[in-house]
């Protein structure tokens, strides 16, 4: 009885909604037995970490790292100084359910989250071109997601560059140390801005491969010519346009101070 | 928690105030639905204030409406780099023109004694809120582009979720602070709308945009206005 009261039976597979939760919110940065991606491999997590600490960490990872917790700080260093995002709507029950899933999957010979979900074929020049077309919006994403360019830029985007809502992706391939982590990330983008959008319009495997190939190429080009000052160019262009329109208004209504009284006076003289 | 307050509670509260007070004012004080033209008090400076302000803000609002009503079409348009730049530079130009007009409106009202006498506290509230709105909007356009695209992707679904009475705050929760400030200030503007001169927007027919210029005189007693 005491065993039953301690928690759910580990031999039972967790409910499918917990699998969905892990797939949508964790699997883009973590595997269970497939090696590290953006974050660590979670196989055997509960054997090396106690639940109380996991609860504190998962409730607000950034807060624990910033508070100087030695274990959190070590993870932060180990994984290229990137903060794990706080999942919206995280509760103690949800944390327990996710830990139970990790514990259950760790006990299996091969976890459902052990491997990369992308094909492992070599990337080609055609992938790079397709990725570029997808990034720039020349080729629409199959499931209706927005092109990367709307929120991100890279070194090779001409003119005013790409969007600046998200980070510049010129070096993202190198930052994430390659295809495996970047591909997993793109399969289910976990960032709080992208997640609500791409959960409804996920990328297809071939699209992810194309984008990975394009970003790999961009990573090679990055650093040659750093792109700066696009905000100033944009402000100058907008100001010039506004000034032109004001000049046009002045010309269009050039008789504005004479159009009413003078014609009235002239008509009385006639 | 703050996000729910700012992006679910505030919008509904603002819209409730907007509709209830607008209708109440129209039924009980119909003839206050005016912006009270100040043209006969001063008309040279007014041209560089009112005209750029109104054309600029109408252009910017039209783009916001397109993001809300035609998000797929807007994204399709923006999928071409040149078209995207034309739209973004065009809307930034209109926003800067509106800002130029608003600054002139505020200076004109502050520096001309005759105009100062007929400018109410409510007018100043509107001017300050509009100034905050323009500055945050322009900063968003410069530092967090391309808004015409991500508005259609992230903010349009959030706004439609409000209309469906199922607010999905997650779409805006992670937006940069400038974007959040722009949204919150927009709903404050909607909340104060029915108490101020902004009600003139609702008076139809609204042919100001294309009718010939004309001289406008007040026929209301100042004590009653």
This model of the complex carries an ipTM of: 0.82
- How far is residue A203's CA from residue A131's CA, in Å, rounded to a whole number? 12
For the domain that residue A157 is a member of, what is the CATH number? 1.10.760.10
Residue A4: what pLDDT?
41
Percentages helix, strand, coil for chain A (3-state, rounded to 5) are: 50, 0, 50
> Which domain-ending residue is among A63, A86, A106?
A106
Pairwise CB contact (< 8 Å): B81 & A149: yes
Q: Which chain A residues have a beta carbon less than 8 Å from that of B170?
A: 88, 192, 195-196
Interface mutation vs chain B, best among A238, A250, A261, most B CBs within 10 Å: A238
User: Helix-strand-coil percent breakdown of chain B, rounded to 5?
Assistant: 75, 0, 25
Domain presence at residue A254: yes
Are residues A235 and B92, on separate chains, in Cβ contact within 8 Å? yes
In a shared domain, residues A69 and A193: no
Model pLDDT for residues A180-195, shown as the tens digit of each residue: 788 888 887 878 888 8
Q: What is the pLDDT of residues A129-171, one digit of tens each?
A: 999 999 999 998 998 889 999 999 998 888 888 898 998 898 8
What pLDDT, on the 0 to 100 scale, is given for residue B136? 97
Query: How many residues does the structure list for chain A?
Result: 270
Report the range of poorest mean pLDDT among A197-201, B73-77, B206-210.
Answer: B206-210
Look up residue B179 and give its two tokens. 């974007």
Quick one: closest CA in A to B156, which residue? Answer: A197
Q: A242 and B150 in contact by Cβ < 8 A?
A: no
**Average pLDDT value for residue range A19-34:** 82
Least confident range from A82-86, B24-28, B217-221: namely B217-221
A199 and A125 part of one domain: yes
The tokens of B62 are what? 């039209």
Q: Same structural domain for residues A59 and A155?
A: no
- Are residue A127 and residue A145 in the same domain, yes or no? yes
Distance to chain A for B107, nearest Cα, Å: 18
Q: Which of these ranges, B15-19, B22-26, B147-151, has the smallest mean pLDDT?
A: B22-26
Inside any domain, residue A151: yes
Residue A269: inside a domain: no
In angstroms, what CA-CA distances link B189 with B86, B123, B156, B199?
29, 12, 19, 12
pLDDT score at A115: 66
Mean pLDDT of B142-163: 90
Assign A5 a pLDDT band (cuts: 50, 70, 90).
very low
Kindly state whether residue A4 falls inside one of the protein's structural domains: no
Distances (CA, A) of B26 to B18, B32, B122, B208: 12, 8, 18, 21
Rounded-to-integer distance, Cα B205 and Cα B187, Å: 26
pLDDT tens for residues A69-114?
A: 888 888 887 777 777 877 777 888 899 899 999 988 888 888 878 8
Task: Give yes or no: residues A213 and A139 share one domain.
Answer: yes
- CA dist., res. B104 & res. A191, Å (int): 42
The proportion of chain B whose per-residue pLDDT surpasses 90, expressed as a percent, equals 48
Mean pLDDT for B172-199 is 91
Are A256 and A153 members of one domain?
A: yes
Contact B78 A150 (CB under 8 A): yes
Domain end call among A106, A141, A171:
A106
Q: How many domains does chain A have?
A: 2
Enumerate residues 6+ apart whose C-beta is below 8 A from A23: A113, A188
**Chain A residues whose beta carbon lies within 8 Å of the beta carbon of residue B43:** 257
Angle at B91 between CA B89 and CA B96, to 5 degrees: 90
Give the pLDDT mean for B6-15.
92
Higher pLDDT, A55 or A115: A55
C-beta of residue A155 within 8 angstroms of C-beta of residue A227 = yes
Class of domain B2-209: mainly alpha
User: What tokens were used for A14?
Assistant: 């967790």
CB contact under 8 A, B93 and A249: no
Give the pLDDT confidence score for residue A7 in this predicted structure.
44
User: Do the Cβ atoms of B173 and A231 come within 8 Å?
Assistant: no
% of residues, chain B, pLDDT over 70: 88
Are A54 and A137 within one domain? Answer: no
Mean pLDDT for the stretch of residues B20-49: 78
- Per-residue pLDDT band at B133 (split at 50, 70, 90): very high
Task: Give the torsion sign (CA, A163, A166, A171, A172).
Answer: negative
Please give the Cα distance from B95 to B56 (Å, whole number). Answer: 6
CA-nearest of B28, B48, B159 to B102 is B48
Tokens of B176: 């940069």
Strands (E), A191-266: none
Q: Residue B225 pLDDT more than 60?
A: no
In a domain, A5, yes or no: no
Considering the domain boundaries, does residue A157 fall inside one?
yes
A interface with B, Cβ–Cβ below 8 Å: 88, 136-138, 140, 146-147, 149-151, 157-160, 162-165, 191-193, 195-197, 231, 234-235, 237-242, 245-246, 249, 253, 256-257, 259-260
Nearest to A238 among B43, B89, B146 (CB): B89
Nearest to B143 among A157, A231, A242 (CB): A231
Parent domain of A239: 116-263
Asked if residue A204 and residue A166 are part of one domain, the reply reads yes
- Phi, psi at B103, each rounded to 5°: -60, -40
- Which of B69, B40, B35 is CA-nearest to residue B155? B69
């Amino acid at each position: 009885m005491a065993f039953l009261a301690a928690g759910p039976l580990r031999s039972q597979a967790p409910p499918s909604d917990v699998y969905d939760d892990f797939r949508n919110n964790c699997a883009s940065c973590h595997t269970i037995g497939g090696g590290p991606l953006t974050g660590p491999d979670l196989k055997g997590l509960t054997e090396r970490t106690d639940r109380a600490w996991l609860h504190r960490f998962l409730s607000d990872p950034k807060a624990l790292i910033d508070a100087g917790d030695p274990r959190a700080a070590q993870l932060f260093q180990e994984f290229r100084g990137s903060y794990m995002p706080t999942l919206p709507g995280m509760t103690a029950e949800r944390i327990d359910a996710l830990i139970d899933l990790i514990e259950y999957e760790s006990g299996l010979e091969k976890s459902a989250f052990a491997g990369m979900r992308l094909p492992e074929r070599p990337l080609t020049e055609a992938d790079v071109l397709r990725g570029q077309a997808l990034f720039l919006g020349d080729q629409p994403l199959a499931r209706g997601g927005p092109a990367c360019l709307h929120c991100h830029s890279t070194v090779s985007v001409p003119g005013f560059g790409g969007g600046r809502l998200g980070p510049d992706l010129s070096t993202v391939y190198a930052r994430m140390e390659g295809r495996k982590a970047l591909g997993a990330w793109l399969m289910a983008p976990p960032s709080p801005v992208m997640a609500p959008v791409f959960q409804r319009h996920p990328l297809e495997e071939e699209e992810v491969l194309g984008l990975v190939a394009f970003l790999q190429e961009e990573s090679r080009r990055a650093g040659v010519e750093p792109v700066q000052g696009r905000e100033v160019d944009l402000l100058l262009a907008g100001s010039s346009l506004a000034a032109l329109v004001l000049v046009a208004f002045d010309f269009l209504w050039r008789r504005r101070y004479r159009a009413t009284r003078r014609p009235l006076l002239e008509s009385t003289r006639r | 928690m703050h996000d729910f307050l700012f992006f679910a509670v505030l919008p509904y509260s603002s819209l409730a105030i907007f509709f209830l007070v607008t209708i109440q004012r129209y039924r009980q004080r119909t003839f206050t639905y005016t912006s009270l033209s100040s043209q006969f008090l001063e008309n040279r400076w007014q041209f560089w204030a009112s005209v750029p302000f109104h054309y600029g803000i109408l252009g910017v609002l039209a783009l916001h409406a397109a993001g809300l009503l035609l998000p797929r079409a807007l994204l399709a348009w923006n999928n071409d780099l040149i078209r995207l730049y034309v739209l973004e530079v065009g809307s930034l130009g209109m926003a800067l023109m509106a800002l130029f007009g608003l600054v002139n409106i505020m200076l004109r009202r502050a520096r001309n004694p005759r105009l100062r006498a007929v400018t109410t506290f409510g007018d100043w509230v509107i001017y300050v809120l509009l100034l905050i709105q323009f500055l945050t909007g322009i900063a968003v356009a410069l530092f967090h582009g391309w808004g015409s695209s991500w508005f259609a992707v992230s903010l349009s679904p959030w706004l439609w979720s409000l209309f469906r009475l199922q607010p999905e705050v997650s779409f805006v929760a992670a937006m940069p602070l400038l974007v959040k400030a722009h949204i919150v200030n927009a709903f404050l503007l909607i909340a104060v709308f029915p108490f101020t001169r902004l009600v003139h927007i609702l008076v139809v027919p609204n042919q100001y945009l294309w009718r010939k210029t004309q001289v406008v005189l007040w026929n209301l007693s100042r004590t009653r206005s």
